[in-house]
Each structure stands twice: as structure tokens, then as C-alpha cells.
Amino acid sequence: MKPISVDLTNQFLVAMPELDDSMFGRAVVYIFRHDEDGAAGLIVNHPSDVQFAHLLSEIRLPALKPLARPEQPVLVGGPVHPELGFVLHRGHGPWTSTLHSSDSIAVTHSRDVLDAISQGHGPSDYLVSLGYAGWQPGQLEEEIADNQWLTSQASTDVLFELPYEARWEAAINALGLDWRLLSHDVGHA
């Protein structure tokens, strides 16, 4: 396989304003893996109707310690395997099925991290999502070339500090851009 030309791991994909898609419209996607096999990421600004406390109850993990944010919504992480849960978190712990996408950010796809959170000894900063976004080799690069996405360095402030509805505009502003002035037209020589 041909190596990828640009590694977008630990980057944000920020949907262009004109991207008119029910799943990806105004989405901010955290790319946790990008290699010769394709890319995978989690949408970090589209909350679902499911609250985290309800999810814990559904998988029979009662909140033994008071949860800091029991009303925190579970995010719609993407269209691929929407029945599977993922925890995007700050810090690296002893959990299984963890992919370290940077020195400080990881994605865990195992029940033990949810158990740790429910008992009060999991990561302090985390997002829980169902499903993920995935791209075949070359597909993401083609979408970027077609001006569907902007890319930027991921920010823990955007991930863990800002309200969901403020993340898209903040990610664009971090690039020094005003979304109202962005054009969807792509120039070709």
C-alpha cells in the first residue's frame, strides 16, 4: 500500500458551511486514526437524545459515585456502527482497547472505561459517543480536495470546554477564518 501523504491523526475536520448532510452538516470531527487503511473519527458536536446516565443504566453500569455530569448527552459519533460506544478522553489509563491519538488524547472502545467513569475513577475529561465516521483509503483526501472539509489542529478547549453548539464556529475561528466568508467553490488550474 502507498503511504499517506498527510497524517490527519489528532486533527479536526470542520465541515464547510455548504456541506448539506444530516450527519455531517456543521460537524467537527476529531480524527483519531489516519493511515494507509483509511481514516476514523468521532463527531464531537452533535449530541443525541440519550443522556450518559441512561446509557450507563442500559448497559447495567449504575453510577456508583455521583456523576459529575449525569445529564451529559451521548454524542452521535458517526454513521458507522452506531450501536458501538466510544469514549474520547484526555489522558491515558489502564483501559483495554485504547488507541492513543496524541500524547494527551485517546479513544477507548471498551466497557472498562465506562465502568471506571461510573465508579468515579475514570478520566476527568471525556466525551461518550455512539458510532464513528470512517473513510476508505484516499476517500477523506478526496473530500478535502473537493472542499467539503477544513482541517485544523485539534484543541482540547474545543473538545472538553466549549458547549457543543459553539464548537463548529470556534474550530473555524481558530483557523483565522470567518465562516460567513468561506466559499465552496474550488479553483483548479
pLDDT in tens, 27-36: 999 999 999 9
CATH of residue 36's domain is: 3.40.1740.10
Asked if residue 105 belongs to a domain, the reply is: no
Asked if residue 103 belongs to a domain, the reply is: no
Asked if residue 99 belongs to a domain, the reply is: no
In angstroms, how far is the first alpha carbon of the chain from the final one? 29
Asked if residue 90 belongs to a domain, the reply is: no
Percent over 70 (pLDDT), the chain: 88
pLDDT greater than 70 at residue 180: no
Percent over 90 (pLDDT), the chain: 65
22-26, 119-123, 127-131: lowest mean pLDDT where? Answer: 119-123
Asked if residue 136 belongs to a domain, the reply is: yes
Asked if residue 92 belongs to a domain, the reply is: no
Segment 85-112 mean pLDDT:
92
- How many degrees, rounded to 5, is the angle at CA 56 between CA 31 and CA 63? 120
pLDDT in tens, 137-175: 999 999 999 999 999 999 999 999 999 999 999 999 999
**pLDDT of the residue at 7:** 93
Range(s) of the domain holding residue 156: 11-84+129-181
Segment 56-72 mean pLDDT:
73
Asked if residue 19 belongs to a domain, the reply is: yes
Mean pLDDT of the chain: 88
Give me the number of domains the chain comprises: 1
Asked if residue 114 belongs to a domain, the reply is: no
Q: Which three cell numbers stand for residue 39?
A: 481514516
**pLDDT of the residue at 121:** 85
CA–CA gap between residue 155 and residue 21 (Å, rounded): 24
Segment 98-116 mean pLDDT:
93
CA–CA gap between residue 128 and residue 131 (Å, rounded): 10
